[in-house]
Amino acid sequence: MSKNYETIFENNKKWIAEKLNADPEFFDKLAAGQNPEYLYIGCSDSRATAEELMGMAPGEVFVHRNIANVVNTLDMNSTAVIEYAVEHLKVKHIIVCGHYGCGGVKAAMTPEDLGILNPWLRLIRDVYRIHQKELDAIECDQQRYNRLVELNVQEQCINIIKMACVQERYILDDYPIVHGWVFNMKTGKLIDLEIDFEEILADIQKVYDLTNSTWVMGKK
């Protein structure tokens, strides 16, 4: 067994001691349940952790991560997480957070057979196809790569907004609101892409209205 592996358990003991020193009831509170206001959907990249980036404590963020922060509505993993967060945890905000330097996005831009990853990366290639005119007009490879990271976040936000559970709960509670972020590893900064949730919802309901209602944005 490697020394690094054993160090994890030593770190865990130190973490427990630090938490109890700051709050003797910390673990009692933690075990009592969770009531997060945020669902964070991010990349599995080991450099882009959710709570640390957001400055949040355990129990404050419900987290789902996969390669390139993709939301595929045919993937029961991501859809189950979203539905549970929306219907049972009653989160108020859903965040899709990508990051510059994403290996998944870069792999999707590379003409190479990557085996079992091909169907997953095809979802990102679909994003490129939708925005090909804009992306092909960017001469700098790095800038084009960064822009695809942003557009991928945008399209995953749209996939979430299409979901019936999101639409239905928003009608009832004015929540959840969907946000798109990008993490810049070179600066540590979180960038809000300022996704216009209400405008997107109003627009896509012309096609993706799954609520069986005559509701329109603004509830007029």
Residues carrying an active site annotation: 43, 45, 47, 99, 102
How many C-beta neighbours within 10 Å does residue 160 have?
25
Element (H, E) at 112: none
Element (H, E) at 189: strand 189-192
Structure tokens given for 87: 């219907």
What is each CA distance from 41 to 25, 157, 160, 163, in whole angstroms?
29, 10, 11, 15
Structure tokens given for 72: 């595929």
The region, left, alpha or beta by phi > 0 then psi within -120 to 50, assigned to residue 69 is left
Q: Are the beta carbons of 125 and 118 closer than 8 angstroms?
A: no
* Locus of tokens 């892409």: 193
